[in-house]
Amino acid sequence: MQEQIDGVFRFRSTCYSCRREFDVIEGTQAYDNVKRNSKGMHCCEDCKNRIELEARLNFGRRLLTGKD
Ligand SMILES: [Zn+2]
């Protein structure tokens, strides 16, 4: 669903990770993702940051242990 508030287009999406509703604002990467694939899995900024951090930690751990 697309809304326009204060001249800025935004979509309302539901985070697949924490199930919270969140807004994505025109001009952001997240907005492009939702616009291109509104039925896809999208996550909020908090979860995106957390997932990226976890991925980085896992990557670092793999480098240290040499295991998957
Ligand atoms: Zn989330």
CA 6 / ligand 1 centre spacing (Å): 25
Provide the strand spans (E) within the chain.
2-5, 8-14, 21-25
Q: Is the pLDDT of residue 11 over 80?
A: yes
Counting residues of the chain whose pLDDT is more than 90, the rounded percentage is 79
Q: Read off the pTM.
A: 0.72
CA 24 / ligand 1 centre spacing (Å): 12
Q: What are phi and psi of 15, to 5 degrees?
A: -70, 130
CA–CA separation, 27 and 19 (whole Å): 23
24 closest CA partner among 33, 53, 37: 33
Q: What are the strands of the beta sheet with 21-25, ordered from one edge? A: 2-5, 8-14, 21-25
Identify the pLDDT of residue 68.
Answer: 65
Identify the pLDDT of residue 48.
Answer: 93
Structural domains counted in the chain: 1
CA 66 / ligand 1 centre spacing (Å): 31
Structural domain of residue 56, as residue ranges? Answer: 2-65
CA 50 / ligand 1 centre spacing (Å): 9
pLDDT digits (tens, 9 = 90+) for 38-68: 889 999 999 999 999 999 999 999 999 987 6
End-to-end Cα, the chain, rounded Å: 40
